[in-house]
């Protein structure tokens, strides 16, 4: 803007001189058109961002996510608490069983027990993007639902669910397969110690996929969750 102002100042100061050459009107018209186009483009960009805001990426235990009236942004209080129930009954257990599985795999590694305990405690601090994509949503979700009354705001709750459903949960679960290769386990389901934990996760996982399908196909949950024609990405159901 400063450069444009300088150019306009120079131009108007020299209009009498350049007018002698007969192209002052052309220059002025060109600059005027450029300014008009710039204003129109700016207005369009502002409007686009206003009606399509960038979703806020939560950080771990983000204060933005919590509210004294968490159901305020929901279509209704019934919808909010139905969604909380979905998380408590299906999403939370599936995530917890997968975390239990990965902890059990770590314990199968050879080495000092203290180092294994430290590795388990440090799982949530894994800096890999795929790990953080899971842990950030999981931590905010659990922090806002634990206790006698939920405090996780509706928009934040929906964001956590959607991000987990769009690949964060699936990528985290795929880590267990890679981890198992480190202890030469090719089939988690048939392993003597890991098998029971894996089957418990598989059962919870299948319930999660089925129940989330009901949420996506129910218009009462609002436009942020109602996606009847858009498949989620929790991963395939496990053949039991």
Q: Which of 21, 155, 6 is nearest to 79 (CA)?
A: 155
Q: Are 204 and 93 in contact (CB under 8 A)?
A: yes
Reply yes or no on whether the pLDDT at 105 is more than 80.
Answer: yes
Reply yes or no on whether the pLDDT at 4 is more than 70.
Answer: no
pTM above 0.75, yes or no: no
Instruction: Provide the phi-psi class of 177: left if phi over 0, else alpha when psi is between -120 and 50, else beta.
Output: alpha
- Here the tokens at position 29 are 């018209």
Reply yes or no on whether the pLDDT at 49 is more than 50.
Answer: no
State whether the Cα torsion 81-87-89-92 is positive or negative. negative
Q: Which of 140, 129, 147 is nearest to 162 (CA)?
A: 140
For 198-231, how does the pLDDT look when each residue is reduced to its tens digit (9 = 90+)? 999 999 999 999 999 999 999 988 888 888 888 8
Reply yes or no on whether the pLDDT at 44 is more than 60.
Answer: no
Distance of CA 154 to the CA centre of its chain: 14
Reply yes or no on whether the pLDDT at 90 is more than 90.
Answer: yes
Reply yes or no on whether the pLDDT at 179 is more than 80.
Answer: yes
CA atoms within 13 A on the CB side of 240: 11
Q: Which of 66, 221, 219 is nearest to 145 (CA)?
A: 66
Q: How far is it, in rounded angstroms, from Cα 6 to Cα 10?
A: 6
- Here the tokens at position 155 are 């928009």
- 94 versus 21: which is more confidently predicted? 94
Mean pLDDT over 133-143 rounds to 89
Instruction: Provide the phi-psi class of 147: left if phi over 0, else alpha when psi is between -120 and 50, else beta.
Output: left
Q: Are 144 and 151 in contact (CB under 8 A)?
A: yes
Mean pLDDT over 135-162 rounds to 86
Cα–Cα–Cα angle for 237, 101, 152, rounded to 5 degrees: 75
Q: Are 116 and 169 in contact (CB under 8 A)?
A: no
Reply yes or no on whether the pLDDT at 143 is more than 80.
Answer: yes
Mean pLDDT over 42-59 rounds to 46
- Here the tokens at position 16 are 């009498």
pLDDT band at residue 48, thresholds of 50, 70 and 90? very low
Whole-angstrom CA distances from 52 to 44, 47, 55, 156, 158 are 12, 8, 9, 17, 17
pLDDT band at residue 162, thresholds of 50, 70 and 90? very high
For 191-201, how does the pLDDT look when each residue is reduced to its tens digit (9 = 90+)? 999 999 999 99
Q: Are 70 and 77 in contact (CB under 8 A)?
A: no
Q: Where are the alpha helices (DSSP H) in 109-193?
A: 113-121, 129-145, 154-163, 169-181
């Amino acid at each position: 803007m400063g450069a444009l102002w300088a150019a306009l100042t120079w131009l108007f100061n020299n209009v009498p001189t350049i007018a002698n050459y007969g192209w002052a009107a052309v220059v002025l018209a060109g600059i005027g058109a450029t300014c008009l186009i710039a204003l129109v483009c700016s207005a369009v960009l502002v409007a686009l961002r206003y009606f399509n805001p960038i979703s806020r990426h939560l950080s771990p235990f983000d204060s933005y996510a919590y509210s004294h009236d968490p159901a305020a942004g929901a279509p209704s209080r019934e919808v909010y608490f139905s969604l909380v129930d979905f998380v408590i009954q299906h999403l939370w257990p599936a995530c917890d069983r997968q975390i239990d599985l990965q902890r059990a795999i770590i314990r199968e590694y050879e080495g000092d027990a203290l180092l294994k305990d430290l590795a388990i405690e440090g799982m949530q601090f894994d800096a890999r993007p795929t790990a953080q994509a899971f842990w950030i949503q999981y931590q905010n979700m659990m922090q806002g639902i634990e206790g006698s009354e939920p405090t996780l705001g509706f928009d934040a709750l929906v964001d956590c669910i959607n991000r987990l459903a769009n690949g964060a949960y699936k990528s985290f679960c795929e880590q267990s397969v890679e981890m198992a290769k480190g202890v030469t386990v090719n089939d988690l389901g048939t392993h003597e110690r890991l098998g029971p934990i894996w089957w418990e996760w598989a059962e919870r996982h299948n319930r999660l996929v089925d129940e989330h399908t009901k949420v996506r196909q129910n218009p009462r949950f609002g436009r942020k969750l109602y996606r009847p024609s858009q498949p989620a990405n929790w991963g395939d159901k496990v053949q039991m």
